[in-house]
Amino acid sequence: MKEKLQQIQTSVEELLKQISDISALENIRVQYLGKKGELTSVLRGMGSLSAEERPQIGALANKVREFLEKSIEEKKISLEKAARANNLKAETIDVTMPGKISPNGKLHPLTQVMNEVKDIFIGMGFSIAQGPDVEYDYYNFEALNIPKHHPARDTQDTFYVNDNIVLRTQTSPVQVRVMEKQKPPIRIISPGRVFRSDAVDATHSPVFHQIEGLVVDKGVTMSDLKGTLETFLKALYGKDARVRLRPHHFPFTEPSAEVDVSCFVCGGEGCRVCKNEGWIEILGAGMVHPKVLANCGIDPEIYSGFAFGLGLERITMGRYDIDDLRLFYENDLRFLQQF
Ligand code: DAH
């Protein structure tokens, strides 16, 4: 039995030298130390030993078991260490390899300029108001002093949903909605989509964007309008930009004006972009018509206001020297990536 125990120890020693993976190690453990293992069956045979032999053999058997357990555990640790080292080696990152470039998304040029316009007005204390794209005839026309059969309707080719409902042709109806709900002082801009049944070409699209502005309070004058627009246009086009108001007519403002900015390409000398005029028309504006104030329940004897409306596509085209409106809506990445 003594020999048998020693033999177990030497063969395990031998086996451990040969193996190089963890599962083989586990097999060895089961083969010798398991319930049906070789050491265990030797120990079972101890019952047949004499009373003198038993403690001797027992002590030896314990020593052998300790040896087996210890050397198997040591082997396990060294195998694991080797496996880890191997893994690290296999996973080494080559920091000199070229990276994968993932393309950045960007905001659409119209969104960029829209955000810029919003920021400028928010900086001047305006807040943002929204209205529906599908609008009542009343808000889009009637309340804005454009009765049925008024010739001004002809200048805005309207998509009619039915006799009373249209796709809004301008953002001006939001003025009315705001004035109905909110008493002065009012200082809002309203950006949004507008619709006109125009054929698509380089300067026309059935869907485009406007930004409406409205200020109503006691004692608001035309010079407040001019100062506000000058501040805005200088923020948008640089402090050297000059602003000019030309008399015009809109049914919802009196007096009305068209507003030009000195050409931001040539500075006013005359060039291709301003068609040699030195000025570029940017927006429509005026003092809110007393009838419009009254339509919204605001007493024109006490309050006055100004309003303006600008086209987002037009200022974005000017800003980036884009000569065809359709480029905004085609989503051609070669175009969009330039902004
Ligand atoms: N709604 C006008 C248009 O679509 C633009 C406009 C002009 C808006 C004058 C205004 C304004 O608020 O006062 O052509």
Strands (E), 132-172: 134-136, 165-167
pLDDT confidence of residue 105: 87
SS3 for 26?
Answer: helix
Q: What is the rounded average pLDDT of the residues 179-204?
A: 94
Q: What is the tens place of the pLDDT at every residue in 32-48?
A: 888 888 888 888 888 88
Q: How far apart are the first and last CA of the chain?
A: 89
pLDDT confidence of residue 264: 84
pLDDT confidence of residue 65: 87
Q: What is the rounded average pLDDT of the residues 196-217?
A: 94
Q: What is the rounded average pLDDT of the residues 231-256?
A: 95
Please indicate whether residue 212, judged by its CB atom, sits closer than 6 Å to ligand 1. yes
Handedness of CA 179, 182, 186, 188 (dihedral sign): negative
pLDDT confidence of residue 44: 82
pLDDT confidence of residue 158: 92
> What are the distances in angstroms from CA 97 to CA 92, 93, 102, 260, 269?
12, 9, 16, 55, 54
| Nearest atom in ligand 1 to 169's CA | 4
Candidate from 174, 308, 313 with most ligand 1 atoms within 8 A of CB, to mutate: 308
Burial of 173 (0-12, 13-18, 19+ CB in 10 A): buried
Residue with the two structure tokens 């078991």: 65
Protein residue with least CA distance to atom 6, ligand 1: 309
Query: Are 174 and 160 spatial neighbours (Cβ–Cβ below 8 Å)?
Result: no
Strand-pair category, 127-128 with 186-195: parallel
What mean pLDDT, rounded, does the chain reach? 92
Please indicate whether residue 178, judged by its CB atom, sits closer than 6 Å to ligand 1. no
Per DSSP, 81 falls in state H
User: Ligand 1 centroid to 188 CA: how many Å?
Assistant: 14
Protein residue with least CA distance to atom 7, ligand 1: 284
Protein residue with least CA distance to atom 4, ligand 1: 170
Range name among 15-29, 221-235, 288-302 with the lowest pLDDT average: 15-29
Strand-pair category, 253-262 with 304-311: unpaired
Please indicate whether residue 38, judged by its CB atom, sits closer than 6 Å to ligand 1. no
Q: What is the tens place of the pLDDT at every residue in 155-180?
A: 678 999 998 999 999 999 999 999 99
Q: From 58, 63, 25, 56, select the one nearest 42 (Cα to Cα).
A: 58
List, in sequence order, every residue forming a beta bridge with 182; answer none if it has no partner.
Answer: none
In the structure encoding, which two tokens stand for residue 270, read together?
A: 């005359």
Please indicate whether residue 279, judged by its CB atom, sits closer than 6 Å to ligand 1. no
Is residue 152's pLDDT more than 80? Answer: no
Is residue 92's pLDDT more than 90? Answer: no
Q: What is the rounded average pLDDT of the residues 13-25?
A: 87
Is residue 302's pLDDT more than 90? Answer: yes
